[in-house]
Amino acid sequence: MSTIYILWLRQVKKYFRAKSRIIGSLGQPLLFLLVFGFGFGAIFQQAGQGNYLQFLTSGIIMMSVLFTAIFSGIDLIWDKQFGFLKETMVAPVPRWQIMLGKTVGGATVASIQGVIVFVLALFVGFKISDPLMLPVALLFIILIALLFTSLGVAIASIIEDMQGFQLIMNFMVMPIFFLSGALFPLQGLPTALEVVTRIDPLTYGVDGIRSALGGVGSFGMGMDMMVIVIVAVIFLGVGTYLFEKIQA
């Protein structure tokens, strides 16, 4: 288990050393909060949906977690190209421990990113409906981070170059985000769009944290939690299998 800890610590240290990366990664969520939150606020309120910033914040927190988590797979490709992964693979430890260490490390970084965005949202004007639900909101952040970090590692396990990984991730990430209900309510959607949103695992993360922080949800926190845990376990299993097949 020391292997998992060492790889986890390496990921976290790398994150805190890259201060420019931390600041840069906060630009897009903050832009979304300010431009969308205040720009569409009046329209959202006129439609009888309340305060748009209150609605939007949960989606932007999950957007930050999604992007950071799924792009953590780039670190695996970097390790493959520069030989660090080969050195790790020859160590007398099971490969699943290496994969789990990288996944937990990436999920930790993504969770920290989500918490930072949440704190920024408080300064912008977001209000928590029930402070006692903060641990539940944090749990949703961690689970979504784990889910999408597993997906990122799984895809990075079968791709050899960063350009290919970025193309595939961009093709996946934007639909996952925009179809999650992060920017719009899920009620009253066309049937086809409603089906797609129900398939999107991020939908349940956004709905879960929105229920925890704002007291408003579509599916119930129990359903959200169950779906996220099941999908996270599946992605962890797939990621572990594909990582085992890597020829370092």
Q: Residue 108: how many CB atoms within 10 A of its CB?
A: 21
pTM equals 0.89
pLDDT at 3 over 70: no
pLDDT, one tens digit per residue, over 161-182 is 777 777 777 788 889 999 998 8
pLDDT score for 60: 92
Range 186-206 average pLDDT: 89
Top-confidence residue, 113 or 186: 113
Q: DSSP assignment, residue 132?
A: G
Angle made by CA atoms 38, 118, 146, in degrees to the nearest 5: 125
Beta-carbon contacts of residue 150 (< 8 Å; ≥ 6 apart):
103, 232, 235, 236, 238, 239
In whole angstroms, give the CA distance from residue 206 to residue 42. 22
pLDDT at 1 over 60: no
In whole angstroms, give the CA distance from residue 234 to residue 248. 24
Top-confidence residue, 198 or 77: 198
Q: Which helix (H) or strand (E) holds 231?
A: helix 221-244
CB 62 within 8 A of CB 205: yes
pLDDT score for 31: 83
pLDDT, one tens digit per residue, over 10-23 is 777 776 666 566 67
Whole-number Cα distances in Å, 2 to 9, 196, 205, 243: 10, 41, 30, 19
In a 13 Å sphere around the CA of 57, the CA atoms on its Cβ side amount to 27
Whole-number Cα distances in Å, 28 to 132, 177, 231, 236: 29, 13, 27, 28
Top-confidence residue, 206 or 40: 206
Strands (E), the chain: none
pLDDT score for 16: 65
